[in-house]
Each structure stands twice: as structure tokens, then as C-alpha cells.
Structure 1
Amino acid sequence: MEAADGYPVEGVADPEAWLRSGDVLASWVAEADHQVVGHVAVMIPNGEDAVALWTQQSGESHERVAVLGRLFVTKSARKRALGEKLMRTATAYAQARGLRLVLDVMTKDTAAIRLYERLGWRKIGDTTHRYGDGQQTSALCYVAPSS
């Protein structure tokens, strides 16, 4: 995943532990030809800028916000609408629980940004994603459409 796509940008020493983090409320995978080719998670907020921006702008409580994270689809499985299906599944899960989803995305990830905007997500601000040993890149924060 990281070697092929540069995701996650900070790398992951133990991918299984990363995917099964205690911050994950729920997660789903996409399969093609009997192989996992995609993933998405709904996560408990953990200091993300998107959460702070949304709660400031909306007045909504942190308890009513969750983070859409760890969305990826392998290059070999793209163009099958799997990212959209994963996003819709995660959004439905959050809406059924009265949670508003937010996310941040690095500005270099233009295909992901197009997907979010096509699905009605709204940009709520800009941020800087910091990782590694003092590295950083620009990012955008989004909120899911209301149910």
C-alpha cells in the first residue's frame, strides 16, 4: 500500500495494528478477485484539524463527530467505483448513529478530492499535515453532507 501509493505518507511499521487501532469505530474492506483491494474506517476523533474546524463552524459537539479515515483502493482495482462504495457505506453507518463525518486529505490527492466533492462533501478549511521528522504537506478539511 505505502510502497505503491505513498499512503499513508508517514508509513506504517505494523499495518495490521494500524488497521485495527482502538480508535476505529467500524471499518470495511473491498474485495476483487478474492483479494482485499480497498479499505475505509470510521474513527473516534483524535485531535484532527477537521474535527476542530467543524465543531467551531457548526457548534456541534465533539461527541457527534467522527472521522472518515484510512480510505484507499489499490491502483489495480481503481475505476470500479470501490472508493465510492466504501465512502457510501461509512457515511450510512455514521448517519445511522447520528454522527457527522469529517476528514482531511492532502492536496496532492486530487482523485480523492474529486470523489469527496462529487459525493457532496464540503470543504471547511485548509490545514497542514505534519508527519515523520518535521515533514509537512498541505491538506484540506471536508465535512460529509447532512443526512
Structure 2
Amino acid sequence: MSSEIRVRTDADLPEAADALVRVHGTDGYPVEGVADPVAWLTPPGLLSSWVVEQDGRVVGQVCVTEPRDEGAVALWLKETLGDEEEVAVLGRLFVIREARGNTLGEKLTRTAMEYAEKIGRRLVLDVMEKDRAAMRLYERLGWEPIGSTIHTGQVPARAYVAPQNPQNSQN
């Protein structure tokens, strides 16, 4: 199967929204946003987003946003005494179940990490405690846990920060 990661366009939104609804049905992710998936895929402060196509159809996506009251941002800024302009948030990462096992989630994450490095921002995120596979992915890529938080005010989550230099996280 051939796959391609590229910048998401507005024309991709219907297919990405359908993929999101499928992921929610199989994984319970996300816990919010499924009622209006296009709105969830286009959050305020969106800096960039990418889709992964497999054999011509959108099977996953990821985005990077400006900080917006995320627990991971607060934890990182408290630890570093930094400022919000130095950080961005990786989010809305998903790949439909049928396309998993091809490192597509990893490739999407690396794309977001490289983008953040280019714009001079450190990526943070939170991942729901139940999403163990996502935690393993981030840890394999060198992300470090920075504390616990609550995702969308209701779900226990773990906060992570991306490695300082993504090119060195090739484990």
C-alpha cells in the first residue's frame, strides 16, 4: 500500500471527518468533537495540519496549534518559566484501525515535530491515560512525561514534551 503525508486542505475535511468518526467508534477517541468533527479538526489557533493518504484516501491526520489553556502547556511553562510563544500543541492525531501497523502515526508525529522545530516552538501534548498505545508511540520518539493533567476537564491524562531536537530521536 502506498501512503503519503501532506498538508491538509479544506477539500480533505469531509474525508478526515469520516475517518475521525470511525476512530471514535473503534477507540473512543476523541472524547469530544464527534458531534461536529469538521469543527474539531479546525480548532482555534491552528498553525498547520497534515493528513496521511493511503491508496488515495485519507486515513489519518495530525495538527499543531497555538496554546489554548491546555494542561500540558501550563505544566511545561511552570517547569521552564517559559512563555507561550515558545510552545505549540500537537493534537488531533489519529489513524483509522485498518491503516495501523504501517508507522503512519509515527510519520504524522515526526512531521509535526519537524514543523515545530522549523517555527522555533517546543511541542507539548496530553494523552488520555487509557490511550496506552499513544503513550508508547510518544515515548519511543523521545517525548518525556512532564506530569498529570485532566483532558477537557473530565478525563485523566498524562502530559508530554517533545525532545529538544527531533532529528536525534530516531530510536
The TM-score normalised by the length of structure 1 is 0.92
Q: Which amino acid aligns with 1:85?
A: K
Residue equivalent to 2:14: none
Q: Does 1:23 align with 2:41?
A: no
Residue equivalent to 1:146: 164
Equivalent of residue 54 in structure 2, options 29, 32, 35: 32
Give the Å deviation of 1:61.
1.1
Residue identity (%): 59
> How many residues are paired up?
143
Residue equivalent to 2:3: none
Deviations 1:90-114 (A, max 9, x none): 0000001110000000010000000
Root-mean-square deviation (CA, aligned residues, Å) is 1.2
Residue equivalent to 2:145: 123
Q: Does 1:81 align with 2:99?
A: no
Q: Does 1:6 align with 2:24?
A: no
Q: Does 1:111 align with 2:133?
A: yes
Deviations 1:70-107 (A, max 9, x none): 00011001000000000000000000111000000001
Looking at structure 2, the residues matched to 15 and 23 of structure 1 have their Cα atoms a distance apart, in angstroms, of: 17
Secondary structure of 2:135's aligned partner: helix
Higher helix share: 2
Secondary structure of 2:120's aligned partner: coil
Looking at structure 1, the residues matched to 33 and 137 of structure 2 have their Cα atoms a distance apart, in angstroms, of: 23
Give the Å deviation of 1:12.
2.4
Give the Å deviation of 1:21.
2.6
Looking at structure 2, the residues matched to 39 and 94 of structure 1 have their Cα atoms a distance apart, in angstroms, of: 16
Give the Å deviation of 1:18.
1.9
Q: Which amino acid aligns with 2:129?
A: T
Residue equivalent to 1:137: 155
Unaligned stretches of 5+ in structure 2?
A: 1-20, 166-171
Looking at structure 2, the residues matched to 125 and 116 of structure 1 have their Cα atoms a distance apart, in angstroms, of: 14
Q: Which amino acid aligns with 1:138?
A: P
What does residue range 39-118 of structure 1 map to in structure 2 within 5 Å? Answer: 39-118=61-140
Unaligned stretches of 5+ in structure 1?
A: none
Please say if residues 124 and 159 of structure 2, whose CA atoms lie closer than 8 Å, have aligned partners that are also in contact: yes
